[in-house]
Amino acid sequence: MSARVVDPGQLAAEFRHTLRREIAALPEPLRLVGVIAGPHGAARTYAEYTRKGCEDIGVQFALQNVERLEAEAAIRKANADANVHGILVYYPVFGTEQDRYVRDLVDPTKDVEGLHSFWSRCLYENRRFYDAAGTKKAILPCTPLAILKLLEAAGVFDPTAARPLEGRRVVVFNRSEVVGRPLASMLSNDGAEVISFDVDGPQFFSPSRPPIVKETSIDRAAALANADVIVTGVPSRSFERITAREIAKGAVCVNFSTFANFDGDITEKASVFIPRVGPMTVTMALRNTLRLYHNTRA
Amino acid sequence: MSARVVDPGQLAAEFRHTLRREIAALPEPLRLVGVIAGPHGAARTYAEYTRKGCEDIGVQFALQNVERLEAEAAIRKANADANVHGILVYYPVFGTEQDRYVRDLVDPTKDVEGLHSFWSRCLYENRRFYDAAGTKKAILPCTPLAILKLLEAAGVFDPTAARPLEGRRVVVFNRSEVVGRPLASMLSNDGAEVISFDVDGPQFFSPSRPPIVKETSIDRAAALANADVIVTGVPSRSFERITAREIAKGAVCVNFSTFANFDGDITEKASVFIPRVGPMTVTMALRNTLRLYHNTRA
């Protein structure tokens, strides 16, 4: 057996194809503002991918190159501009805890990253809609959403089911506020039993309602041996790569780190291997832009 | 000349004397809930000081000892309890960026620390009241507020003036989101010209309206030589202590770090030396509790 290796670029292209058609049908141009401070390499790359994605689907992208102390004014200006439908801030801006303050300056109804504390609250409280009528869907953070869409495309679950991941055991290595914790929460909201590993120990995200998170004493070996899906995002060379020997036959393996977190032999035993997520992340930001547009005009 | 050394304990006792009288006159008991997770030493000490302060002024203090994953539920329970007027969470809870999420779970109208992003926004936008009628004063973070009150008591400024710190030059070493940045902002909102030092470089907090913060190239020597007030909060032994030779004659020196950031000779040249702030921080949390009570009943 050899794993099917899924290219996120192909799925992203399919999503962009749909987005292009929907955006062309809008009564006005969709406008996204990017705010980038400083010369940070990875942020520049992400901004460049955003520009290409926007060009591809017909979104007007205006990238503001600012000094870090000008980011706040740029965000406020974009917040106030009725012709701007989405805002994407490229981090780090300060590279300190001040970035959390910057993040929350973005008007949540223009936050295409879905990382404003307003959206985090919706997610962690498993509220899918943010209006009383239940017509306006909450925005989900781009990378966790990208991973869910990749799993769906890989046939891991049926998205039309009420609890699409019911009974699935998922392991996530990474519990950052940007990807790992929201991802674990989204998976368990959809019915999965999730073991979350990070430097401060493993936690169990129960699919119970309301959501419950507990400390657990499970170790890596036991968690991996029992997992249907394994998602890694450890940004470190010192992470001991996950090998075929550690996983169950037919497991689905996803890596969203820029480092290889799986050993090359993983494809011998996994059913699906998704080695990177990046192109889908950008595409989900564009999809969120369209969703925000529809939400404010609903 | 030898500096007057100000004991924050004495000023704190004066504030508590006033608070005791005001609290005794309330129609119901004032109740403060503390939430502490884990065995963290400094947090335990802060909680113990809170208990003593509450006993001294007649506030009912209920300290919840919880596991870190139980902190959220404890906060939500206290938020929902109409008989709880204030909530004080002792950090670290997780010791990760998740603590920022925990902080914002506290209902801002019960946040005695004044660190909820709702209050940070008020402060950084220089909004003194948070209701349209201008009757409900915004809550200020405890340690910066304690430092302002100590400077006032030391005769540094007249609090009844419209711009009490107009023309004063202040240097602050520390730009954390908890103390240094809000402090620099409060000082410049009151008219001071503030140079803020931290590991990522010096910044100038202008007293202009609206507030403006700029990068500056000023160095430590020039900033210190011209400062009327010097506030330090560097939690490191490797910080080169500020000596008498570096400061202007008659400068007011305040240290809020648990490390000595001034050399012992500072009292030879300073007019006022405030070596620690701690007792005033706890007292300002109690004062905020009373203010929150009045705000919700105004």
pLDDT digits (tens, 9 = 90+) for A96-114: 999 999 999 999 999 999 9
A215 chain-B contacts, CB cut-off 8 A: 67, 69
Question: Residues B269, B150: one domain?
Answer: yes
A81 touches chain B (CB under 8 A): no
Both tokens assigned to A286: 């564009």
One domain for residues A275 and A174? yes
Q: Are residues A147 and A273 in the same domain?
A: yes
pLDDT tens per residue, range A51-98:
999 999 999 999 999 999 999 999 999 999 999 999 999 999 999 999
Do B67 and A215 count as a contact with CB atoms less than 8 A apart? yes
- Same domain? For B147 and B271 the reply is yes
pLDDT tens, residue by residue, A102-151: 999 999 999 999 999 999 999 999 999 999 999 999 999 999 999 999 99
Does some domain include residue A285?
no
Q: Confidence class of residue A1 from pLDDT cuts 50, 70 and 90?
A: low
Reduced to 3 states (helix: H, G, I; strand: E, B; else coil), residue A182 is: helix
Q: Give the lowest-confidence range in A11-15, A169-173, A282-286, B161-165.
A: B161-165
Residues of B in contact with A95 (CB under 8 A): 200
- CB-CB under 8 Å, A98 with B181: yes
Residues A81 and A166 in one domain: no
Residue A166 touches chain B, beta carbons under 8 Å: no
A65 with A173, same domain: the answer is: no
Quote the tokens at residue A157: 């679950």
Contacts of B175 in chain A (CB under 8 A): 96
Residues 179 to 208 of B: which have CB under 8 A from any A CB? 181, 200, 203
In a domain, B287, yes or no: no
Q: What is the pLDDT of residue B99?
A: 95
Question: Could you tell me if residue B129 is inside a domain?
Answer: no
Q: Give the whole-angstrom CA distance, residue A112 versus residue A87.
A: 6
| pLDDT value, residue A158 | 85
> How far is CA B75 from each of CA B12, B62, B80, B231, rounded to the nearest angstrom?
28, 12, 9, 33
Least confident of A28-32, A218-222, B131-135, B178-182: B131-135
Q: How many CA atoms, within 13 angstroms, populate the side-chain half-sphere of residue A140?
A: 25
Q: Under an 8 A CB cutoff, do B97 and A100 touch?
A: yes
Specify the DSSP element, H or E, that contains B290: helix B278-297
Q: Please tell me the distance in Å from A228's CA to the nearest CA on chain B.
A: 26
CATH code, domain with B99: 3.40.50.10860
First to last CA, chain A: 49
Answer yes or no: do A87 and A188 share one domain. no
| Cα–Cα distance measured from residue B70 to residue A209, given in angstroms and rounded to the nearest whole number | 16
Q: Does A216 fall in a domain? A: yes
Task: Please tell me the distance from the alpha carbon of residue B191 to that of residue B203, in angstroms, as a whole number.
Answer: 16
Other C-beta atoms closer than 10 Å to the C-beta of B62 total 14
> Chain A closest CA to B75's CA: distance in Å?
14
Alpha helices in chain A (DSSP H): 8-24, 41-57, 71-80, 98-105, 117-124, 142-153, 180-189, 220-225, 278-297
Residues B85 and B154 reside in one and the same domain: no
Interface test mutation site (partner A, options B98, B185, B213, max chain A beta carbons within 10 A): B98
Judgement on whether residues B178 and B270 belong to the same structural domain of the protein: yes
In the block, tokens 């969470």 appear at: B89
Nearest-CB residue to A69 (from B98, B101, B215): B215
Cβ-nearest to A101 among B67, B101, B120:
B120
Of A67, A96, A124, the CB nearest to B200: A96
Q: Is residue A17 domain-resident?
A: no
Chain A CB within 8 Å of residue B101 CB:
yes
Closest to A97 (Cβ–Cβ): which among B124, B177, B215? B177
Q: Please tell me if residue A66 touches chain B, with a CB cutoff of 8 Å.
A: no
Residues of B forming the active site: 142
Q: Look at A177 and B97 and tell me if their CB atoms are within 8 Å.
A: yes
| Cβ count within 10 A of residue B221 | 10
Is residue B95 in a domain?
yes
Amino acid identity for residue A259 in this structure: F
- Catalytic residue among A54, A122, A142, A253, which? A142
- A101–chain B Cβ distance below 8 A for any pair: yes
What confidence score (pLDDT) does residue B83 get? 96
User: Chain A within 8 Å of B100 (Cβ-Cβ)?
Assistant: yes
Distance from CA of A214 to the nearest CA of B (A): 7
Q: What is the pLDDT along chain B (298 residues), one digit of tens a residue?
A: 689 999 999 999 999 999 999 999 999 999 999 999 977 788 999 999 999 999 999 999 999 999 999 999 999 999 999 999 999 999 999 999 999 999 999 999 999 999 999 999 999 999 999 999 999 999 999 999 999 999 999 999 988 998 999 999 999 999 999 999 999 999 999 999 999 999 999 999 999 988 899 999 999 999 999 999 999 999 999 999 999 999 999 999 999 999 999 999 999 999 999 999 999 999 999 999 999 999 988 6
Contact by Cβ (8 Å): B209, B150: no
Helices (H), B81-196: 98-103, 117-124, 142-153, 180-189
**Domain range enclosing A93:** 22-108
Number of Cα atoms under 13 Å in the Cβ half of residue B99: 16
Of B67, B96, B176, the CB nearest to A200: B96
Give me the long-range contacts of B124-129 (CB less than 8 A, separation at least 24). B124/A101, B124/B182, B124/B185, B124/B211, B125/B210, B125/B211, B126/B185, B126/B189, B126/B209, B126/B210, B126/B211
Of A94, A95, A104, the CB nearest to B117: A104
Q: Which of B61, B92, B108 is the last residue of a domain?
A: B108
**Among B69, B104, B181, whose Cβ lies nearest the Cβ of A214?**
B69
Residue A33 maps to a domain: yes
In a domain, B257, yes or no: yes
**What is the count of structural domains for chain A?**
2
* B97 lies within 8 A of chain A by CB: yes
Residue A22 structure tokens: 């929907």
Write out chain B residues lying below 8 Å of A181, CB-based.
98
A221 plus A154 within the same structural domain? yes
- Give residue A126's pLDDT: 92
Please tell me if residue B235 touches chain A, with a CB cutoff of 8 Å.
no
Q: Band of the pLDDT at A38, cuts 50, 70, 90?
A: confident
CA dist A152 and A170 (Å) reads 14
Is the Cβ–Cβ distance between B195 and B183 less than 8 Å? no
- Judging by DSSP bridges, how do beta strands B169-173 and B60-66 pair with one another? unpaired
A150 lies in the same domain as A42: no
Chain A with chain B: Cβ pairs closer than 8 A: 47
Quickly count: other Cβ atoms within 10 Å of residue B237's Cβ: 8
CA distance B147 to chain A (A): 21
Q: Determine the pLDDT at residue A106.
A: 98
CATH number at residue A275: 3.40.50.720
In the three-class reduction of DSSP (H, G, I as helix; E, B as strand; rest coil), residue B149 is classed as: helix
Cβ–Cβ of B200/A100 closer than 8 Å? no
**Cα separation of B102 and B14, whole Å?**
33
B167 and B94 together in one domain: no
Q: Could you give the CA distance from residue B48 to residue B53 in angstroms, rounded to a whole number?
A: 9
For residue range B211-251, list pLDDT tens digits in order: 899 999 999 999 999 999 999 999 999 999 999 999 999 99
Find all residues with CB under 8 Å of A218, minimum gap 6, and list them. A195, A202, A204
Taking the Cβ of residue B104 and every Cβ of chain A, the question of whether any pair is shorter than 8 Å is answered with yes
> CB–CB of B213 and A101 under 8 A?
no
pLDDT, residue B81, reads: 98
